[in-house]
Amino acid sequence: MAFVFVVVFFFTAVCFLLPLCLPLCTSKKRRGVGVQSGGDGQKLRLPPGSMGWPYVGETLQLYSQDPNIFFASKQKRYGEIFKTNLLGCPCVMLASPEAAKFVLVSQAQLFRPTYPPSKERMIGPWALFFHQGEYHLRLRRLVHGTLGPDVLRTLVPDIAAAVSSTLGAWDGHVASTFHAMKRLSFDIGIVTIFGGQLDGRYKEELRTNYSVVEKGYNCFPNRFPGTLYHKAIQARKRLRSILCEIVAKRRCAGAGRDHGDRSLLDGLLRSNDAGAAALTDDQIADNVVGVLFAAQDTTASVLTWILKYLHDSPKLLQAVKDEQMAIYVSNERGKRPLTWTQTRSMTLTHQVILESLRMASIISFTFREAVADVEYKGFLIPKGWKVMPLFRSIHHNPEYFQDPHKFDPSRFKVTQLLDMDCIRLLGSAALSSTRLLEIP
């Protein structure tokens, strides 16, 4: 019960995040641009920083110390923008909200997402986060539209049921919090993607096969039979056929009538409404796997951190429990279902969620690749270089957050005024840093 709201928020909030675990770099080596002319003929400099040794660059420094310390010491020395070289790729790191916004929002067309081909294959090459331009925009609208407040509102009872069932299963058992949260976030993901009525058999098949995919995701891409990677590729194929079967059934059932279903899958199936070509089965399957991938681990990590922070602060825990209990009691001790409006009125709980997002910063950074030579604040970001907005450094900078290492939900008091849209943006990789920082 106590976690319904968390889940509702988080699923929306982190749906579009990619787990950090994507390795940094795939790219071919590029020419080392030194100095170049800006548009107005003025010489542009590369950002300050050191490139370390040839090829390995500063990779060893990064891996041999706490990455936070690595970034923090660079930032102290060079400021909000600095260059380095990791895993053979020249990178520009950006540690200010303004710069993050530049790369991810206002000039997003100049920076493209890049992932190693083996990862793309595993998630599905049609997943929206591998694309730019029109296809990306269309998919983004679809996903946003079907995971937005209007739809989530209708899913609250289903989500509440999934949470109760998970909590029920914990009774009398000792469980790893993270694993339990993963199971829970998978269940919520399934509800959100397929609506409340997915056959239990499909759900289990998806769960077991997805977990095989996940195990192979970070392995060396060796296709030799028996390796985790090979098993993952096989499981990914099974996921595709399970999804195609579900899609075929939905197409059949849905033909000729609007059954009012507004799950993500229904949105993807109806995507030809506006006259565009319908999405293919592969495009649908890749995006379903993509959303699961983006949502599950991130959500489970944040939920786990929330529990830890609350556990560490008994007073706060009690206050959150009181807030939840008041709603539970007003619903006749659970006889009436939790409503969307109630999830909006959990003021303290909401602050705890925001502060946990900030403190844990589970997506420490993201990366893009410059598609052209770009000028930022008088510095040159050469074409082909990786660009990394450092979310964690921003969230832990005392200039923006006083006493950044203190868990203090009250710093988000003002957010009662934020609307749902804003909350969603908070979680999205694009704006997590910038929006947070607009709050005084």
Tell me which residues touch ligand NAG (CB under 6 A).
205, 208-209, 212, 238, 241-242
Residue 205 or 408 having the CB closest to ligand NAG: 205
Residue 209 or 299 having the CB closest to ligand NAG: 209
Between β-strands 111-112 and 379-381, what pairing exists: parallel, antiparallel or unpaired? unpaired
Question: Smallest gap, in angstroms, from Cβ of residue 202 to ligand NAG?
Answer: 9
Structure tokens at 251: 């197409």
Residue 202 or 400 having the CB closest to ligand NAG: 202
Residue 93 or 212 having the CB closest to ligand NAG: 212
Residue 212 or 360 having the CB closest to ligand NAG: 212
Residue 37 or 208 having the CB closest to ligand NAG: 208
Q: Which residue has the tokens 């409340």?
A: 196
Q: Considering all CA atoms of the chain, what is the largest pairwise distance in Å, rounded to the nearest integer?
A: 72
Residue 212 or 362 having the CB closest to ligand NAG: 212
Q: What are 369's strand-pairing partners?
A: 112, 386
Sequence-ordered list of residues with C-beta below 8 angstroms from that of 370, at least 6 positions apart, any chain: 110, 111, 381, 382, 383, 384, 385, 387
Question: Smallest gap, in angstroms, from Cβ of residue 209 to ligand NAG?
Answer: 4
Structure tokens at 91: 């990178």
d(CA 140, CA 133): 10
Question: Smallest gap, in angstroms, from Cβ of residue 239 to ligand NAG?
Answer: 8
d(CA 54, CA 15): 38
Question: Smallest gap, in angstroms, from Cβ of residue 288 to ligand NAG?
Answer: 15
Question: Smallest gap, in angstroms, from Cβ of residue 223 to ligand NAG?
Answer: 18
Structure tokens at 345: 């009125």
Spell 163-186 as b/e; 16+ CB within 10 A means b: beebeeeeeeeeeeeeebbbbbbb
Contact 105, 431 (CB under 8 A): yes
Amino acid at position 94, single letter: L
Contact 233, 216 (CB under 8 A): yes
Q: Which of 186, 196, 155 is nearest to 343 (CA)?
A: 155
Contact 385, 92 (CB under 8 A): yes
Question: Smallest gap, in angstroms, from Cβ of residue 236 to ligand NAG?
Answer: 10
Residue 158 or 286 having the CB closest to ligand NAG: 286
Residue 154 or 227 having the CB closest to ligand NAG: 227
Q: How many CB atoms lie within 10 A of CB 127?
A: 22
Question: Smallest gap, in angstroms, from Cβ of residue 201 to ligand NAG?
Answer: 9
Sequence-ordered list of residues with C-beta below 8 angstroms from that of 422, at least 6 positions apart, any chain: 435
Residue 210 or 305 having the CB closest to ligand NAG: 210
Spell 93-111 as b/e; 16+ CB within 10 A means b: bbbbbebbbbbbeeebebb
User: Could you give phi then psi for residue 188, rounded to 5 degrees?
Assistant: -65, -40
Question: Smallest gap, in angstroms, from Cβ of residue 210 to ligand NAG?
Answer: 9
Q: Which residue has the tokens 């959303």?
A: 291
Question: Smallest gap, in angstroms, from Cβ of residue 215 to ligand NAG?
Answer: 11
Question: Smallest gap, in angstroms, from Cβ of residue 49 to ligand NAG?
Answer: 46
Structure tokens at 324: 């939840």
